[in-house]
Amino acid sequence: MIQNKIVVRYQDGRVVKGITRDFFPNKDIFHLVLADAQPGSKPLEVRTQDLKAVFFVKAFEGNPRYDDKKEFDPAKPVIGRKIQVIFKDGELMVGTTNGYDPKRPGFFVMPADPQSNIERCFVFTPATRGVSFI
């Protein structure tokens, strides 16, 4: 089974890092083995109703000084529809999506910046203030 490194961001600002094997966009609950957990530790049960987004990352550490670019490289082809997401907390994310529908609970976004630590992100629609195609 695939293990995904994720950073879970709650709407209240909490951040939790770990590995999941059972995140599915259509499920209300998934489990997270915390990044700093001792071997054999019980996974944390995460309820999606409280989340802002689930970031699938390359590394837990990332680079806090790096600011993801918000533009697309004109020399590279774009796969999917270009999208801009403004979260309720003011964070701006620019990328592409293949499945945005405002009536659905969420959607995946691939960041515009290929150097981003984020491989993809599942955005929870209730945590957004504005979503637009660009």
Q: How many domains does the chain have?
A: 1
Banded pLDDT at 42 (limits 50, 70, 90)? very high
Share of the chain above pLDDT 70, in %: 99
pLDDT of residue 3 exceeding 90: no
Counting other chains too, the contacts that 96-102 makes at CB distance below 8 Å and 24 or more residues apart are 100/131, 100/133, 102/131
- Residue 119 has what pLDDT? 97
Instruction: Quote the CA–CA distance of 66 and 57 in Å, as a whole number.
Output: 14
- Residue 61 has what pLDDT? 87
- Residue 1 has what pLDDT? 62
What is the average per-residue pLDDT within 39-43? 89
Task: Report pLDDT digits (tens) over 79-115.
Answer: 999 999 999 999 999 999 998 999 999 999 999 999 9
The residue segments making up the domain with residue 117 are 1-134
pLDDT of residue 2 exceeding 80: no
Nearest to 124 by CA among 107, 111, 112: 107
What is the average per-residue pLDDT within 123-128? 98
Nearest to 48 by CA among 6, 89, 10: 10
CB 75 within 8 A of CB 92: no
